Amino acid sequence: MTDLADAPVRQVTLDRPFEDQKPGTSGLRKSSQQFQTPHYLESFIEASLRVVPGITGGTIVVGGDGRYGNRRAIDVIARMAAAHGVAKLITTTGGILSTPAASNLIRSHAAACGVILSASHNPGGPDGDFGVKINGANGGPAPESVTDAIYAATRQLDGYRFLEAEALSLDSPGSFRIGSMQVEVLDGVDAYAELMQTLFDFDAIAALLRGNFRLAFDAMHAVTGPYAKRIFEQLLGAPAGTVRNGLPLEDFGGGHPDPNLTYAHDLAELLLQGDLYDFGAACDGDGDRNMILGRRCFVNPSDSLAVLTAQATLAPGYAAGLAGVARSMPTSAAVDVVARELGIPCFETPTGWKFFGNLLDAGRITLCGEESFGTGSNHIREKDGLWAVLFWLNILAVRGCSVAEIMTEHWGRFGRHYYSRHDYEAIASEAAHGLYDRVKSMQPTLVGQAFAGRTIATADDFAYSDPVDGSLTSGQGLRLLLDDGSRVVLRLSGTGTQGATLRVYLESYVPPSGDLHQDPQVALAEMITAIDALAEIRTRTGMERPTVIT
């Protein structure tokens, strides 16, 4: 590709600013159609480039999960970055870059920020969703102070500037210039695969995979395909075909790239109903989530965090032990019990990875996770799907036992937190907010009332004071804490794009001496009925059952 060293700067004036560019739990996420509205993407990028520190003369990392709109967005961002005086823009072949790999590149290249193009687990394509996530210099999602400032800037924006340039050539690694900005196209997998080899015992995992242990990995036609093929099939020697749906497609093959029992149904059936495979895993659109399955055994993500914490020292990268752990508020307290036994601190944060950033930067935690299939560590500042899969494989390789045996052993030692999340997706916004506000207003009167055969001990709206910088975040979910340690949480999603999504989180603890092998829906049945009666979920949403049960 020719160097575009003398491309002219253009200025575009906006008639009026956009009003709807408030970032949610994980960046700005809207329909692909909305992002095609003239100046829409540009407005958010302009605001971000104005707000994020270190842009002029700095480095930025840009890439995405390959969904519809990815390539166009990279071109737009490159032209705008050049006009804003960015010195170097790092992107990847095909523009394919998973969220965890982006976090790693931001950190290793000391970039000022990253722009990750993904709506994560939301469907893609012209009729699907698109998203832009802004990450800071630590490699993690920008904190609220920054996303609030970006939002404020979008609401006052009068225009944006860019350098006129032709489309970037991303077919192979290389380097060229746009204006005075250097563009570097890297292989998006190399550095990430190297990082994984510093953390896990690849020899032990390779030996496991060369034996009669059978692995199935589902990339869901999303970003992890090339990463998983390199790591599992090339570096670790798993047979070709281990990685299913490994080609990233603009619409994820029409699927919903969310690794859970509903949307990764084929893989779930393979593992839960058949005996051909010992281990199954899937990642989401942008590669930061993971689902772990054993033969006839589903590992609840909250339990997965607890198991990794309990067994962490088996992996070389964590052999020295953990400084502490953290989980988001709706995640079950399974990890708390392990942390207590290990004598390490355990923090409870609001939903969203950005709240782990300060704790990781300050060295107060090593591992962290969310109930929504997100697990990660201090190796980067994002959750990391393939990292979690490798961690599990490392543990299984060292222990030489099955996933089901690990779970039985874990519950037998720490007790079991029966847990489930019920999602009611795409419900009318008024119904969702009506229901939520009603329960919120009832909260002061709920304490002391009977609920599912227990008594409500506390009813509040979760607020968090960051132990590192003291910043306060409120309104993070309605909690009903029961006198036996069980709890129900209600939250409205910050990542949906159609109507509203209500999430109901249910949790109940059984000690090692109790019944450890029930179906969670059965173990939680009384609480499920009680919260429906209290919040009038079925009548107000008009839905007989949740869209997704985890």
Binding-site ranges for ligand VG1 (CB under 6 A): 25-26, 120-121, 284, 288-289, 328, 351-353, 370, 372, 374, 493-495, 503
Cβ-based neighbours of 7, under 8 Å, separated by 6 or more: 82, 163, 164, 165, 178, 179
Which member of 258, 286, 370, 507 binds Co ion (CB under 5 A)? 286
Distance CA 108, CA 385 (A): 19
* Stretch binding Co ion (CB under 5 A), from 116-124, 348-356, 426-434, 440-448: 116-124
- In terms of Cα–Cα distance, which of 151, 118, 145 is closest to 44? 151
Contact criterion met (CB below 8 Å) for 131 and 122: yes
**Minimum distance, C-beta of residue 356 to Co ion, in the bound complex (Å):** 15
C-alpha R_g of the chain:
23
What backbone torsions phi and psi does residue 517 show, to the nearest 5 degrees? -125, 45
* Stretch binding Co ion (CB under 5 A), from 188-196, 287-295, 392-400, 502-510: 287-295
Size of the site for Co ion (CB under 5 A): 5
Neighbour tally for 412: CB within 10 Å: 12
120 binds Co ion (CB under 5 A): yes
Report the site for Co ion in 497-536 (rule: CB under 5 A): none
**Minimum distance, C-beta of residue 189 to Co ion, in the bound complex (Å):** 18
**Minimum distance, C-beta of residue 271 to Co ion, in the bound complex (Å):** 21
* Stretch binding Co ion (CB under 5 A), from 245-253, 281-289, 324-332, 353-361: 281-289
Task: Choose the catalytic residue: 118, 120, 372, 377.
Answer: 120
Contact criterion met (CB below 8 Å) for 137 and 106: yes
Closer to ligand VG1 at the Cβ: 58 or 248?
248
Distance CA 158, CA 42 (A): 12
284 binds Co ion (CB under 5 A): yes
Distance CA 468, CA 491 (A): 25
Position 489: which residue type? Answer: V
**Minimum distance, C-beta of residue 55 to ligand VG1, in the bound complex (Å):** 23
**Minimum distance, C-beta of residue 501 to ligand VG1, in the bound complex (Å):** 6
Q: Does the annotation count 120 as an active-site position?
A: yes
258 binds Co ion (CB under 5 A): no
SS3 call for 5 = coil
* Helix and strand counts by DSSP (H, E) for the chain: 18, 27
Closer to ligand VG1 at the Cβ: 317 or 385?
385
Contact criterion met (CB below 8 Å) for 91 and 74: yes
**Minimum distance, C-beta of residue 311 to ligand VG1, in the bound complex (Å):** 23
493 binds, among Co ion, ligand VG1, none (CB under 5 to 8 A by kind): ligand VG1
Closer to ligand VG1 at the Cβ: 55 or 535?
535
233 binds, among Co ion, ligand VG1, none (CB under 5 to 8 A by kind): none
- In terms of Cα–Cα distance, which of 517, 515, 462, 511 is closest to 491? 462
351 binds, among Co ion, ligand VG1, none (CB under 5 to 8 A by kind): ligand VG1
- In terms of Cα–Cα distance, which of 410, 317, 419, 437 is closest to 366? 317
Closer to ligand VG1 at the Cβ: 120 or 311?
120
Mode of pairing for the β-strands spanning 367-370 and 325-328? parallel
370 binds Co ion (CB under 5 A): no
**Minimum distance, C-beta of residue 120 to Co ion, in the bound complex (Å):** 3
Residue in this structure with the two tokens 């779930």, named with its chain if needed: 268
Contact criterion met (CB below 8 Å) for 80 and 43: no
495 binds, among ligand VG1, Co ion, none (CB under 5 to 8 A by kind): ligand VG1
Helix (H) or strand (E) run with residue 63 in it: strand 59-64
503 binds, among Co ion, ligand VG1, none (CB under 5 to 8 A by kind): ligand VG1
The catalytic site residues sit at: 120
Binding site for Co ion (CB under 5 A): 120, 284, 286, 288-289
